[in-house]
Amino acid sequence: MLERINLPEGTLPPLGKYSHAIRAGDFLFVTGHLAEDPQTGEVVAGPIDQQVRQVMDNLKLILEQAGTSFDRAVMARVFITDMRYFDTVNEIYASYFSGGCLPCRTTIAVVGLAGLGDVEIDLIVYCGD
């Protein structure tokens, strides 16, 4: 059975037609998120460190809505518009995981992202026992 997880109306309004997350069995698939302001949906313009923190905070909101946390993540995909951002993204990203076991991860350099942000991250989270 599939369960759709969305944040309350007016929080992180989607840029397109998608769910914030879908629970399928013991796994939660979290849509990639940009550095969007949770109330307006506008992409936060600013330096890469500010964008990464906003992306991770947005993902945290979704994980909390689903009753889980970063420490249950098993896979992440990070999309960045410039590989020179890699070290900054890596440092901030890692600071959100406290369980000592970081998820598998792929980092991909892309030409552009929806909403004109510089970083997008999606997650797969294990929610079983």
End-to-end CA distance of the chain: 18
Q: How many domains does the chain have?
A: 1
Reference 92, options 128, 72, 121; nearest CA is: 121
What pTM value is reported for the model?
Answer: 0.93
Could you give the strand order of the β-sheet that contains 27-33, starting from the edge strand earlier in sequence?
2-5, 21-24, 27-33, 119-126, 73-80, 104-109
* pLDDT tens-digit profile, the chain (129 residues): 899 998 887 777 766 778 889 999 999 999 999 999 888 888 888 899 999 999 999 999 999 999 999 999 999 999 999 999 999 999 999 999 987 789 999 999 999 998 789 999 999 999 988
Residue 37 and residue 10 in contact, taking contact as beta carbons nearer than 8 Å: no
- Write the CATH number for 105: 3.30.1330.40
DSSP string computed for 45-107: PS-HHHHHHHHHHHHHHHHHHTT--GGGEEEEEEEES-GGGHHHHHHHHHTT--SS-PPEEEE
Which pLDDT score is estimated for 129? 82
Which pLDDT score is estimated for 9? 77
Q: Which domain holds residue 88?
A: 2-126
